[in-house]
Structures are given as C-alpha cells and as structure tokens.
Structure 1
Amino acid sequence: TNRAGYEKSPVGNGPFKVTSTNTQETKMQRFAEYSGEDKARVEKLTWRYYSNDLTAYRDIQAGKLDFMDQIPVSRLATYKSDFSDRNFNDAVASIQQIAIPVYRPEYSDPRVRKAISMSINRKEIAEEIFSGTRDAAMGYVSPTIDGYISDQCGEACVYDPAAAKRLLNQAGGFQGEKIELWYNNDGPHKDWIEAMASQIQDSLGVPTVAQGTENFADIRSRANALEFEQPYRSGWQAAYPSIENFLNPIFRTGGSSNDNGYSNPAVDEKLAEADRTVDIDEANALYQEAEKMILQDMPVIPGLYIKQQSVWSDNVKNVMVDWKGDLVVTSIEVK
C-alpha cells in the first residue's frame, strides 16, 4: 500500500473529500457523489491545526475560526459568557490516560505502575484544574458507553500516598533517575499533566517532570514506533459506542492502538471469549472481567473522564456536537 500517498490524498465515501492537506491545515470539499441521506450543507471545510489552544480561542472570538472542539483550561470560567448561546458542555465518550512503556525495565513491574497511579489525586485535578468539568477515572471505559461499570480500578486508582510509597518500596523502589510525563502542546494538557507530575513526586519522592512536545502527531509517531522511554498522555475517543472499543484496540496483544508493549495471554483469551459471545449483556460482562484483569496489570493509568466544552463563532448556525465530541459536519451552515 502507498501510505504516504494515502495520507496526502485519502480516499473515503463520506460527505466530504480531501482536496489538500499539510501540517497547518486540511481542506475539504463537499462530495457530490455522496450517497448518504445526511448531505453536507456547506461547500467547503478547512481544518486548522494550532500549536496553541489559546490562539485558536482568540481566533474564534475574532471570527477568524468557526469551531473549536475543546477550549483552553484557562477559559473554563469565562467561555459561557464569551459565547453565551454558542457553546456545548456535556459528557462525551472520551477518556484521558497515561500510557506506561512496559517494555522499559524501570516500568516493567505492575507494582511500580500501580504506585504511580495511587500517587495521583484525580479528584483534586478535576476540581482545581478543570473547575469540576472532568471526573476522576476509575477504569478504562467512558461512563457514556454501554457496558461501563463504576469503580473497576478499586484502590489502585484511589489517591493514597502512603500506600503508594509502600508499594513502590515492595517493588524495590524506582530504578530510573526520574519520571517524565510527556504530553502534546497543541491540546489543553499542560496544566493537568504538570499537576500529576507534582503529585507523583510529592507522593513517591521520585523526581517527576512534565515534558511537552509540539503536537499530537509527534506523540503518536513516537508511540507507534515504541520509542517512548517514559510515560505519555494517551487519550481515547470511542469509534463506536461499545465497551469493546475501549479494550481490544489498546490492550489486546498486537492491537491496532496497543503502542506501549502490553501483552497478557489471559487477557487476550478473555477478550476473544467476549468477542465470540452473541448476547450483548453476556458479552459486556466478559469485557468487564477483562477490564478488571487489565487494571491489575495497570499498563495504562486511568486519568479523567471527559466533559467537553466546545464553542463556535457567530458566522455559523445549526452547530451540533455528537456523542463522541465531534462536530457534525453535515449539519453546520454558514449564516
């Protein structure tokens, strides 16, 4: 396959077709041969990629940009007054997580990974950094998804610095020089990752820092190549509304988004059993068992459940955000 050619000119069957794309923007045009019922109402779309979310927010205010899916953390207190009748605020099928490179010797022991998890005060971050617009994640599956069950993680996701320190000592201590938490600067992540780093350092006594990289593409490129030597932000947005979508791609051996080296044959077997099960309730119960098994290994640290805050300019109307948090591109119109 010609991956480079596809990335420059992807082929699909949706309501829009890509006419050009680069690192700054992607331009799309309405696809005249689209056979679906939800025809696009605008002729052209341009997706712009910002390295600074505050710049994008100001462009929305100035009418230079028409939609922003997630506002900056610094505007959580003011966005409703800035965009009184042009905002969205609701839970979506997304979760923020910290992926651990389990192939690295200093992170190979599940006790080390659990100790890091227990060092994080998720509720404090949700309240103080996000003004209560996020919830502490206690598992890998969004509460908006069929099959979700609360508190799958148990004590491993409860903030307990003393227990975290004891667990780390049982594992022989941290064998690296420091912990780095990597994140992408083109999203609203700096504040909460820095807060996590500070909590981990205070709880475990291990030097911990937040490290930003330019954009999400850089994070994904390094993760896909198994190049990370340190933990990194690894959010997940559902592709379809099922608990299966939050587990198989990320945690099955060789999964399409398993980019931290995690593998557990027992988990693979349980996921396969769930995949084969026709009855939805029975299948969900098996996926829930698999989720609990994975959390015992803690290859990825649950972070925050997402409530999304989106805004749009006065240039557009009929703006809708779907259950995943995506703009419904076929409904939006120019005034």
Structure 2
Amino acid sequence: MGRPWKLSFISAIASFAMTGLAAAEVVYHRGNAGEPKTLDQHQTSIDVEKNVLKDLYEGLVAYNPKGEIIPGVAESWSIGGDGTVYTFKLRDAGKWSNGDPVKASDFVYSFRRIMNPATAAKYANLLYPIKNAEKVNKGELKPEELGVKAADDKTLVITLERPTPYFLELLQHQTGLPLHQASVEKFGKDFVKPGNLVSNGAYLLAENVPNDHIKLTKNPNYWNAKSVQIDTVFFYPTEDNAAAVRRFMAGELDTNYQFPIDQLPFLREKLGAQVRTPPYLALEYYAINVTKPPFNDPRVRKALSMAVDRDYLAEKVWGGAALPAYNIVPPGLNGYALADVDYKSLSQLDREDQAKALLKEAGYGPGGKPLKIEIRYNTNESHKKTATAVADMWKTVLGAEVTLLNTDVKTHYAHLQNRGDFDVARAGWVADYSDPQNFLFLGLSNNRVGNYSQYNSAAFDAAMAKSDVTIDPAERMKVLRTAEDTMMKDGPIIPLLNRASLHLVSNRVKGWVDNVQNDHRSQDLRIER
C-alpha cells in the first residue's frame, strides 16, 4: 500500500508544480487600434505595425520607456569624420531567434534591401542621409555602393552624405530594424509568416490570425531575455474603438490604443488615471494654397489663422484629447525653444479684431471683395467637426463664404501630393523621429510629398540647409528656430492642434511611461494580476 501512496504523492507534487508553472505565465492583452498590413519593416507605414515590429526586432538603438535613445543591438558607438561616420559595436550576446549570431552584415543586408528600388519601400527616404542612399534608391547606383559596411562581424560603419545630428533618432524607426538574410532569401515575401519569421528582439511570432490577433512569445535567445517579464503578448486589431472600450472595461484588454474622443469625459469619470492622454509629436493643421489669390497674400493667411479659436477646438470639438497649437514644431523636444507667435498672448476677441483689420487691409471681407473658401478634409468624424467649426468661425468673424468638401483619405492625400487645386486643406503629421527638422521639412520647396501649400521661401530653405551642416546641437537648434520664425511669419499653414496619444492603461500594467514619441515596448512592462 505504501508504494501507490508514494507515487500518488509524487504525482500530486508534479501536478502542483506544473499548475504553478502555468499560473506563472504572464500574458499581456494589447489592443492595437487596427490591423497591421505588413510585418515587413521595409513596407511598414503605420504605427500599429510599428508596435508589433518593435516587439519582434531590435535595431542598433532603441527608445527607453521615457522615449530616450539607448543602446539596442549596438552596445556602443562613436562618431567621427566631422559627424559623418558612425561606428557601431554590436553586442557579443546578440542572437537571432534561431540561435544565429546577429552580425554587422545583417544590417548591411537590411539597409541595402530597403534602398533597393525593387523593394519599393515607402519610407526609404527616411534614411537618405546615408551616403549614396538616394542614388541607390533611384536606381542610379548599385546597392553595394551604399555607405554601410561591415568592418567585421561585430563592427558596423555607416557613412553619411553630410552631418545629420538626428541620425540616431532615424535609426530607432522601424525601417532601421535588421533582417535575417537567410530566412528572407529562403521564404521571399512569406518570411513574415509564423514559423518563417526569424527575429532578434524580445519576442517571437507565434500566430498571426488576420482580423483576430497576433500572438508573440518570449524569445529565449534575446540578449536581454532575463529582464523581459511578460511571456506572451496578444495584439488585437481594435479598430472598433467603442467595442475596444467595452473590452477594456470588462478586463479583457490590459491596454488599448485609441478610443472615441467624445467618450473622454465619461471614461475619465469611470476609469480615472487609467485614461492616458499625453501630448505627443503630432500636429493637426490646415495647409493654405499660397499659389492662388487671395491666399497668396500673407495678410489673408494670417487673418484666417487669427480667426480660429483653438481653445474651442481643443476643448469642445476634440473633448480635451488635443491641445491648442500655434507653432509648427510641437512642444516637448529637448533643447528647442518654440518660435514666438505675436498674437498668442491676446484674447480671442482681440485676435478677431486684428484679423478683421488685416483682411480689410488686403481688400477682402465686408466692404471689399468677397472671401470665398473651400475647406477640403479626409473623411473622419473629428475632421468633419473641426472643419465645420472653423468654417463657422470664418463666416462669423470674417464674413467669408465657406464650403466643405470631403473625400476618403487616399483620394485626399493623392490630390494634395499631385498638386491638385484647393483653397484650404486639412492635414496632419506625426513625427517619425524626435527632431524639429521632422516638422519643419514640411515647408521645404523641394518637398513634393509633404509641402501641400507649395510654399517656396529662399530664406527658409537656406536656414534649413544651414541646420543640416551645423554640428553643435545648441547652435543647430537656433538655426532651426530661425527657419520656423520665417515659416511662421509667412504663414503657409495654420497650426490648429497638437493631438494627444490616446491610451487606456489598466492599473494591472506597471512600467508604462507616457512619452511624446508614443513608443511603448512590451518588454519594458510587467503585468500584476
């Protein structure tokens, strides 16, 4: 009788141990605002893809929870050649999920692939500061002539066209993530599928069920795996924001990205500090077509800007999910002093009086030529409400005749990028990297992609060019400030709002830090059930 009892006791202990191990698994249920269209870092274009990719891969550098640049695969780096040569030393412990060592040649392969015209990478131009990158991307040079070389397995040397003080910021973008060459060449476009994808970050791709979930599991070969406290991450494409809120309140989601802004007061009442609405590097603005009258008159453009009640837009239209914006560059960039806006300190009534005077001086409005304005915007309830509110302000304050035209987002931006005719058009920009240049470049005369206003200023272009070759960080920020002063004075765009990043973060989630980059890696978090 003794032996069966002993076996039962041992079995019970084993069963208890197994149960304990299962209970110890930490699972993170993460609402991700939408369905990633790709997990190929060279085809990516939206933040819901970034969120997954940065869990799967690690670049030369990364962001810490505060949004500060820290070493990633590269444990250190040095900058020489008057700011044009970056030498990265890779970690000896760096491995791919299949056990292969991460080598400098992996980055050479990845950078050459994104610049290869055959890849048709949407964000290749982000890495144009690399020597010969633009020429390679346009098919004028071979990929082998790109300024990225492996000095040895653990030393990567990147040579730039010119000093680029924000180059490390560019490398943290998902386009700077490495690829495992053998698996990409073996599987082709299917390298992104579970079982095929070889990653070097904190997690592996276990499942990818379209319109349902993406499941990631902890990568035991990650060099810093010991610090990763979440074992499994489920990303859910919570495009239905209202449904996602219900799931969060039911405890089914630990965090969720995006929620309906008109529910913000209700959510704050019910969820308190679990509602996160910090500002991030995002600008909501109206582009003005400066090539056609009357909008080619800076007095008209300034009058339009001064007549907009930004406090009303932020509080009433956006429900507190945005802050009034007067500058092209959002606040929050270290070392940068925002340009002065001469009417910011005035009351809204005083602004409106000055706007009327400017318009009259330009010969428009009551007693002058009629002011007719068409506002174009892409279909979205918030954009519609904003356009309606601004139209009413311009009608009431300036006596303008305002009409609205909305199209889907693809048609809207294609029209602007193709230099289609318009008066005033809604646009938005979310920074790809934390530097004023990433907002001010919207005004460059040679920026056909983002300069919707067709703004052309020799003084502005010269200041921006000077900033590209100014190595001293403090002096460079002053030069960029000069550029913003010029663009603000000319007024080709009307800054409206700095949007907040909208997250629901359960009290169960620890380690979450709001940052202006809206960057949150699962490996930096922990879950307490």
| TM, length-normalised to structure 2 | 0.51
- Judged with a 3 Å threshold, the aligned counterparts in structure 2 of structure 1 residues 284 and 186 are, in CA distance, closer, same or farther, namely same
What code does the residue aligned with 1:324 have?
A: Q
Residue in structure 2 matching 1:310, options 470, 484, 503: 503
Counterpart check, 1:252 vs 2:444:
yes
Instruction: State the partner residue of 1:205.
Output: 399
SS across alignment from 1:107: coil
Counterpart check, 1:182 vs 2:373:
no
Which whole-Å CA distance do the structure 2 matches of 1:116 and 1:195 have between them? 13
Counterpart check, 1:34 vs 2:199:
yes
Identity %: 23
SS across alignment from 2:377: strand
Counterpart check, 1:277 vs 2:470:
yes
- Judged with a 3 Å threshold, the aligned counterparts in structure 2 of structure 1 residues 46 and 258 are, in CA distance, closer, same or farther, namely farther
Greater alpha carbon shift after TM alignment, 282-291 vs 56-65:
56-65
SS across alignment from 2:485: helix
What code does the residue aligned with 1:252 have?
A: L
Instruction: State the partner residue of 2:334.
Output: 146
What code does the residue aligned with 2:199 have?
A: Y
- Judged with a 3 Å threshold, the aligned counterparts in structure 2 of structure 1 residues 29 and 182 are, in CA distance, closer, same or farther, namely farther
Instruction: State the partner residue of 1:44.
Output: 208
Q: How big is the shift at 1:169?
A: 1.7
What does residue range 1-335 of structure 1 map to in structure 2 within 5 Å?
1=117, 14=177, 29=193, 32-35=197-200, 37-39=201-203, 43-44=207-208, 56-61=240-245, 63=247, 69-80=257-268, 87-150=275-338, 152-155=340-343, 159=348, 160-173=351-364, 178-186=372-380, 188-214=382-408, 216-248=409-441, 250-255=442-447, 256-311=449-504, 323-325=516-518, 328=521
Contact 1:40/1:331 (CA < 8 Å) preserved in 2? no
What code does the residue aligned with 2:197 have?
A: A
Give 5+ residue unaligned stretches, structure 1.
18-27, 49-53
Contact 1:178/1:207 (CA < 8 Å) preserved in 2? yes
Which whole-Å CA distance do the structure 2 matches of 1:283 and 1:134 have between them? 29
What code does the residue aligned with 2:358 have?
A: L
What code does the residue aligned with 2:392 have?
A: S
- Judged with a 3 Å threshold, the aligned counterparts in structure 2 of structure 1 residues 223 and 70 are, in CA distance, closer, same or farther, namely farther
Which whole-Å CA distance do the structure 1 matches of 2:404 and 2:204 have between them? 41
Q: Deviations over 1:17-47 (max 9, x none)?
A: 9xxxxxxxxxx75673233x34357643757
Which whole-Å CA distance do the structure 1 matches of 2:511 and 2:414 have between them? 35
SS across alignment from 1:201: helix
- Please, what is the CA RMSD of the aligned residues? 3.8
Q: How big is the shift at 1:285?
A: 0.7
Which whole-Å CA distance do the structure 2 matches of 1:157 and 1:29 have between them? 55
Which is higher, the Rg of structure 1 or of structure 2? Answer: 2
SS across alignment from 2:312: helix
Contact 1:69/1:327 (CA < 8 Å) preserved in 2? no
Which whole-Å CA distance do the structure 2 matches of 1:13 and 1:240 have between them? 12
Which whole-Å CA distance do the structure 1 matches of 2:521 and 2:425 have between them? 30
What code does the residue aligned with 1:203 have?
A: V
Contact 1:201/1:207 (CA < 8 Å) preserved in 2? yes
Which whole-Å CA distance do the structure 2 matches of 1:134 and 1:332 have between them? 26
Q: How big is the shift at 1:206?
A: 0.6
Give 5+ residue unaligned stretches, structure 2.
1-116, 123-173, 181-191, 213-237
Q: Deviations over 1:243-287 (max 9, x none)?
A: 111112x01111242222111011111111111110111000110
Contact 1:118/1:161 (CA < 8 Å) preserved in 2? yes
- Judged with a 3 Å threshold, the aligned counterparts in structure 2 of structure 1 residues 46 and 95 are, in CA distance, closer, same or farther, namely farther
Instruction: State the partner residue of 1:25.
Output: none
| TM, length-normalised to structure 1 | 0.78
- Judged with a 3 Å threshold, the aligned counterparts in structure 2 of structure 1 residues 116 and 208 are, in CA distance, closer, same or farther, namely same
Which whole-Å CA distance do the structure 1 matches of 2:273 and 2:514 have between them? 14
What code does the residue aligned with 1:296 have?
A: K
Contact 1:126/1:132 (CA < 8 Å) preserved in 2? yes
- Judged with a 3 Å threshold, the aligned counterparts in structure 2 of structure 1 residues 149 and 32 are, in CA distance, closer, same or farther, namely same
Instruction: State the partner residue of 2:39.
Output: none
Which whole-Å CA distance do the structure 2 matches of 1:168 and 1:76 have between them? 37
Greater relative contact order: 1 or 2 (C-alpha under 8 angstroms, separation 6 or more)?
1
Contact 1:60/1:313 (CA < 8 Å) preserved in 2? no
Number of residue pairs matched by the alignment: 313
Q: How big is the shift at 1:288?
A: 0.5
SS across alignment from 2:413: helix
